[in-house]
Amino acid sequence: MRREIAMPTFHVELFEGRTVDQKRAFVKAVTAAAVETLGCTPESVDIIITDTKRENWATGGTLWSDPRPE
Amino acid sequence: MRREIAMPTFHVELFEGRTVDQKRAFVKAVTAAAVETLGCTPESVDIIITDTKRENWATGGTLWSDPRPE
Amino acid sequence: MRREIAMPTFHVELFEGRTVDQKRAFVKAVTAAAVETLGCTPESVDIIITDTKRENWATGGTLWSDPRPE
Amino acid sequence: MRREIAMPTFHVELFEGRTVDQKRAFVKAVTAAAVETLGCTPESVDIIITDTKRENWATGGTLWSDPRPE
Amino acid sequence: MRREIAMPTFHVELFEGRTVDQKRAFVKAVTAAAVETLGCTPESVDIIITDTKRENWATGGTLWSDPRPE
Amino acid sequence: MRREIAMPTFHVELFEGRTVDQKRAFVKAVTAAAVETLGCTPESVDIIITDTKRENWATGGTLWSDPRPE
């Protein structure tokens, strides 16, 4: 497969609490997914993770640190 | 009103120091604003807040942790 | 109410297709929501919208330009 | 495996030129990578792609639309 | 000066209308500024520009495509 | 030079560990670079820095907190 220059740069927001082992497996798997489907080199894949507190994320107007409405 | 699929996803940078109560009121009000003006469902509104230190934000070349020039 | 410096800066991703009228109403309502709940000045509220194609957004591994699985 | 709430939200910048087929394969593979390594549900994975012009990306001070220095 | 690994990755939102010449000068100058003040290598500096329509940016609740209130 | 409205808003991800002095010099130099090449006012330049842990950044599928493969 011809290598294509795609330069995928990922920013990923996640709830805090992932371990380093989980992050290590995550970035390895996501990089492989990008390489396989985009045809880019592994070295061109950057992934930046943002650990996010539940009090800093809301869905449906409710913080994830609060109880969810039924 | 017909519900439209708009999927508003908010990233909001704020100076750190907002309380959870302020954040709770903030995401509730912003979600309502999105629902009313875009016609989307509340559940489709995601809001992610980034608490930002004043030493990490500059306007006019001056960090907000430093005294502002007159 | 004492004005607080919060500097809320919003980035909002939306499916493309919102009209300028919808955007106008949206930024007005979101700005008002921020001012009321954070105690900041209207002038300190910045909102940047990103119109996003459905082929550029996926949930559950399916592009929104494709039919959703049942 | 217990499902964890991780809520991974991806923003991915790529050079423009990827086909819809490439994007379809890409989001499917990245979602699977997240589900496997984070233990989240597929439905909780959001991926937003930004097609980026080469004149809007620089590395080493050179736009990617310009010839790279040797 | 010892080279430090800082990996500065810039995302810059600008009103659309900058020419390629302006962008070329801009990324060159910003990269030099980062290298000088952070001690990183030029090659480690990535800059991604987002051309933004005035109808997609609001300050003070008013779109920049609309007349500004006095 | 005619002042242009460009509104450059920077988000910069960096490895954590930069001192406030480095950040102060950095935002001053980047703001000057923007003003000179875009013709905007200093006051219109906003820079938001994100200090990023090495365990939250991967290149080539390897976290920067881990040893790099040869």
Instruction: Give start and end residues of each alpha helix (H) in chain C.
Output: 20-38
Q: Among partner residues F7, F14, F26, which is closest to E14 by beta-carbon distance?
A: F7
Q: pLDDT digits over E14-60, tens only?
A: 999 999 999 999 999 999 999 999 999 999 999 999 999 999 999 99
pLDDT score at F68 = 86
**Tens digits of residue pLDDT in A24-68:** 999 999 999 999 999 999 999 999 999 999 999 999 999 999 998
Per the DSSP assignment, residues forming a β-bridge with B11 are B48, C11
Nearest to E12 by CA among F39, D57, B52, C27: D57
The answer to whether C19 and C55 are in contact (CB under 8 A) is: no
- The candidate with the shortest Cα–Cα distance to D6, out of D36, D43, D39, is D39
Higher pLDDT, D10 or B5: D10
Task: Answer whether E43 sits within 8 Å of D52, measured CB to CB.
Answer: no
Show the low-confidence residues of chain D (pLDDT under 50).
Answer: 1
Question: What are the chain E neighbours of D50 within 8 Å (beta carbons)?
Answer: 50
Residue indicated by tokens 């589900």: D35
Distance between CA atoms of residues D12 and F4, nearest Å: 30
- Find the catalytic residue in F8, F42, F67, F69: F8
B44 → chain A, closest CA residue: A60
Nearest residue to C3 (alpha-carbon basis) of C45, C63, C59, C54: C45
pLDDT at C22 > cutoff 80? yes
Strand partners, B15: B52
CA nearest to C26 within chain B: B37
Q: Which residues of A touch B22 (CB under 8 A)?
A: none
Helices within D6-56 (DSSP H only): 20-38
Q: What is the pLDDT of residue C5?
A: 84
- For D54, the token pair is 């080469």
Specify the pLDDT at position A3: 64
DSSP letter for each residue of E19-34: -HHHHHHHHHHHHHHH
Minimum Cα–Cα distance from E64: chain C residue: C24
Note whether B touches E: 3 CB pairs or more under 8 A. Answer: no
Domains of chain E: 9-63 (3.30.429.10)
pLDDT digits (tens, 9 = 90+) for B41-63: 999 999 999 999 999 999 999 99
For residue C42, the 8-state DSSP code is G
Residue pair D29/C59 in contact by the 8 Å Cβ criterion? no
Half-sphere exposure in the Cβ direction for D54 (13 Å, CA): 10
